[in-house]
């Protein structure tokens, strides 16, 4: 028998033995997968945004089936997704409150300015690392678009120097908030009347006004006007507790710098 033929036979035999071993291993080590995991993964939004607290959609689906995780945590999928999962799992969907991202900054180009010209990587994280940002207000939106690149739904863009949320497209997944180095983006329950404070400046009023004409000056007029004590002023900036707010909007009328707005009306 020729050496070439011998080599071919040897390789073939080794391949067959390896195939038998792999088949046997797949049978012995087979882990049954609940078909509901694949079904739930199929009805999820597919954004893999992490808003549910899991690593991705497949991980969330598995946690629902195997660990009894709540079925209404897919923020991008909303109530429709929760209803589909409920049908698969044979449970009640329950109530799901729509969430929307809000940019808590009013510092547009005409209301604030830059301290220096940044010539580097167009990234909020990059400019934040250089003297705490290039803006006159060191607490505001940096405007270099890290949030726009993080959004899988094209729901946030840089307009007039700051991030602006397209509320029709926003799913409230929170990806934009997670990457914002100044933490000016928050995700709040969608409401047609409840206002938010669009400022994060923690400096005293006079210093805030020098940095931005639309900054909260901590005057406490909004807190005094609120009939439900839903507003507190901490570190020179107002904060509205959405769970206490009833949407009377008296704070909007009282704010002397016009920094309190109802997102749904913007």
Q: For residue range 118-155, list pLDDT tens digits in order.
A: 998 999 999 999 999 999 999 999 999 999 999 989 99
Count other C-beta atoms under 10 Å from residue 142's C-beta.
Answer: 28
Taking the CA atoms of residue 104, residue 108, residue 114 and residue 118 in that order, the dihedral angle to the nearest 10 degrees is 80
pLDDT for position 51: 84
Structure tokens at 56: 């991705």
Structure tokens at 18: 């390896």
Structure tokens at 179: 């990457």
Coil, helix or strand at residue 224: helix
Of 255, 51, 254, 97, the C-alpha closest to 191 is 97
pLDDT for position 94: 78
pLDDT for position 202: 96
DSSP annotation of 106: -
pLDDT for position 34: 86
Give me the residue label for tokens 């890290």.
Answer: 146
**Count of residues in the chain:** 266
pLDDT for position 31: 67
Pairing state of beta strands 231-234 and 237-240? antiparallel
pLDDT for position 161: 95
pLDDT for position 1: 63
Q: Which residues of the chain have pLDDT under 70?
A: 1, 30-31
Structure tokens at 100: 């929307």
pLDDT for position 29: 77
């Amino acid at each position: 028998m020729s050496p070439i033929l011998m080599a071919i036979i040897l390789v073939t035999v080794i391949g067959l033995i390896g195939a038998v071993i792999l088949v046997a291993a797949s049978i012995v080590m087979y882990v049954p997968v609940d078909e509901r995991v694949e079904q739930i993964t199929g009805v999820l939004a597919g954004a893999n945004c992490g808003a549910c607290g899991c690593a991705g959609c497949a991980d969330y689906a598995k946690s629902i089936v195997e660990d009894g995780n709540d079925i209404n945590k897919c923020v991008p999928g909303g109530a429709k997704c929760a209803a589909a999962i409920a049908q698969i799992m044979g449970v009640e969907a329950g109530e799901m409150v729509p969430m929307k991202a809000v940019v808590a900054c009013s510092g547009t180009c005409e209301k604030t300015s830059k301290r220096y010209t940044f010539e580097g990587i167009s990234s909020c994280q990059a400019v934040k690392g250089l003297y705490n940002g290039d803006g006159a207000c060191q607490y505001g939106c940096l405007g270099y678009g890290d949030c726009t690149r993080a959004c899988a739904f094209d729901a946030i863009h840089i307009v007039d120097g700051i991030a602006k949320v397209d509320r029709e497209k926003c799913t409230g997944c929170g990806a934009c908030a997670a990457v914002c180095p100044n933490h000016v983006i928050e995700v709040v329950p969608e409401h047609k009347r409840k206002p938010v404070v669009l400022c994060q400046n923690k400096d005293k009023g006079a210093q805030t006004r020098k940095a931005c004409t639309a900054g909260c000056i901590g005057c406490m007029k909004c807190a005094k006007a609120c009939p439900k004590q839903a507003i507190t002023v901490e570190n020179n900036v107002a904060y509205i507790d959405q769970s206490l707010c009833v949407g009377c909007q008296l704070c909007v009328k009282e704010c002397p710098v016009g920094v309190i707005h109802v997102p749904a009306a913007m």
